[in-house]
């Protein structure tokens, strides 16, 4: 049953966001007419347009589709928190009393009454949720997913769950309510409190979004509320680095499993015989459904092994058989911009791109790069994301980035924020201890990559628009390492 059948028309304010676009695709696949606004044309909005969704890029009421303007009672407006308060279209839709819901509210509506796997955490949730969705899909378990990144395996940020008719055709004993839906549970603006999952993963509760929460204790309390909404009989998978008081906040009858790389970190769920081989990490899983040896994860990183442990246990909890786990793990190819190998040349040279935008994410990423390329000269190009996050974590950014030999900083990507006096990338620059550091423009980064050969491994890191550099850097390094264009 379609829970929003009374809205044949759906209009998205901020349709180009990764989570918003997944919802837009769901609505269109379920027979709704869909339109959207975004301030910038991107490959993602172009993909939506190619799929038949009309998108415009100027904030003007006259650009809203006539069907939306003429059918207020039949239109649902979906809003992202990134839309500024002075947005003209938003103001007009409010004045006209349209039904306006936040993305998180719509996600809560679509998962209500459904078997839900929710992945929360200040970092790691996109990769982990994509892993759960992939494991289920690869093993043939009927499932749906709303993801915060483009899964390489799925080629999308959305996996459409089967209809009741499709389940019947496939002779599945499941009803649509029993088909697991995998979602990212976003802590920003307390969005995840719209969810009531059967299985929840909490990857981390590090301080973040202090512009919303003020202090980490308030963030942790929000996570406690979230895990308190796990349904009785459900499961909480809790990372060893997360606040352990979350285990006390679940309802009676909810099973808590701690996970980590070692038995001390995760007595109920952990790895052993963990070793990197080439770009792969090999390990044995020890979990509630037994021991699974010989697992091969093609997406490197010690943190990704932890993510896969949690994803495997969550997938097993909603129908993945242990017999199919090893093949599904080996087939996982990651998420765009998460430890993504852009160019490699032999065993000694590589260019990687990663979305890391929190000090702990950067630390985990760079330590894993060091493990893969021991003794190699590492250059990192980092774009800080948000003025508030830069202000709050200057020392942490400097410490984690200083794992590299060279650090080139870009200016802060503001996203939804206005500048804060005295807050700039120079705050990080002054605390870096790497041997070579600089604050550069995007143009200068490209010029330096072309003229300076003094590195073996290059990494672009950040959650803003640093990915715009990737195609040009790819061309430069192909010419350097292969003597040809990419």
Pairwise CA distance, residues 33 & 24, whole Å: 10
The set of residues, in sequence order, having a beta carbon less than 8 Å from that of 329 and lying 6+ positions away, is: 135, 295, 296, 297, 308, 312
68 CA to centre of own chain: 31
Annotated binding site: 121-127
Contact (CB, 8 A) for 145 and 26: no
CA-nearest of 459, 156, 183 to 336 is 156
Residue 181, both tokens: 């839906």
Annotated binding site for ATP: 121-127
Sheet with 280-287, strands from edge to edge, namely: 270-277, 280-287, 290-297
289 CA to centre of own chain: 27
Pairwise CA distance, residues 340 & 122, whole Å: 20
DSSP codes of every residue in 287-329 = ETTEEEEEEEESS--HHHHHHHHHHHHHHHHTT--GGGHHHHH
Inter-CA distances, 78 with 63, 99, 168, 401, Å: 17, 9, 32, 37
Inter-CA distances, 157 with 116, 133, 184, 336, 387, Å: 17, 10, 11, 10, 28
387 CA to centre of own chain: 20
DSSP codes of every residue in 149-192 = EEETTTTEEEEPPPPHHHHHHTT----GGGS-EEEEE--GGGGG
């Amino acid at each position: 049953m379609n829970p929003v059948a009374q809205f044949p028309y759906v209009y998205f304010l901020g349709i180009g966001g990764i989570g918003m676009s997944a919802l837009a695709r769901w609505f269109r696949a379920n027979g709704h007419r869909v339109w959207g606004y975004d301030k910038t044309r991107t490959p993602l909005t172009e993909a939506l347009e190619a799929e038949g969704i009309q998108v415009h890029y100027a904030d003007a009421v006259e650009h809203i589709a006539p069907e939306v303007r003429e059918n207020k009672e039949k239109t649902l407006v979906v809003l992202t928190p990134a839309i500024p308060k002075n947005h003209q279209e938003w103001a007009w839709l409010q004045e006209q009393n349209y039904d306006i819901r936040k993305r998180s509210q719509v996600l809560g509506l679509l998962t209500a009454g459904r078997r839900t796997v929710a992945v929360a955490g200040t970092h790691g949730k996109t990769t982990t949720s994509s892993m759960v969705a992939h494991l289920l899909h690869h093993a043939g378990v009927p499932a749906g997913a709303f993801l915060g990144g483009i899964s390489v395996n799925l080629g999308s940020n959305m996996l459409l769950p089967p209809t009741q008719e499709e389940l019947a055709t496939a002779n599945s004993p499941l009803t649509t309510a029993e088909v697991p839906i995998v979602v990212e549970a976003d802590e920003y603006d307390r969005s995840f409190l719209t969810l009531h999952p059967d299985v929840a993963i909490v990857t981390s509760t590090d301080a973040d979004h202090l512009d919303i929460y003020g202090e980490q204790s308030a963030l942790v309390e929000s996570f406690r509320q979230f895990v308190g909404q796990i349904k009785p009989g459900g499961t909480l998978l809790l990372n060893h680095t997360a606040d352990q008081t979350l285990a006390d906040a679940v309802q009676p009858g909810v099973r808590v499993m701690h996970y980590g790389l070692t038995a001390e970190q995760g007595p109920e769920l952990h790895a052993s015989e963990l070793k990197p081989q080439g770009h792969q990490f090999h390990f044995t899983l020890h979990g509630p459904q037994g021991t699974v040896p010989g697992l091969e994860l093609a997406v490197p990183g010690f943190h990704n092994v932890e993510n896969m442990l949690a994803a495997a246990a969550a997938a097993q909890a909603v129908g993945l058989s242990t017999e199919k786990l090893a093949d599904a793990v080996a087939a996982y190819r990651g998420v765009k911009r998460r430890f993504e190998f852009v160019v490699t040349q032999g065993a000694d040279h590589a260019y990687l791109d990663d979305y890391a935008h929190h000090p702990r994410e950067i630390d985990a990423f760079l330590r894993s790069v060091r493990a893969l390329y021991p003794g190699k000269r590492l250059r990192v190009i980092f774009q800080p994301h948000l003025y508030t996050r830069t202000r709050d974590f200057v020392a942490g950014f400097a410490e984690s980035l200083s794992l590299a030999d060279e650090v080139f900083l870009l200016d802060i990507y503001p996203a939804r924020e206005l500048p804060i006096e005295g807050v700039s990338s120079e705050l990080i620059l002054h605390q870096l201890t790497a041997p070579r550091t600089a604050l550069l423009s995007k143009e200068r980064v490209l010029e330096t990559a072309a003229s300076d050969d003094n590195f073996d491994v290059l990494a672009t890191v950040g959650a803003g628009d640093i990915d715009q550099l990737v195609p040009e850097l790819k061309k430069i390094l192909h010419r350097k390492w292969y003597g040809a264009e990419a």
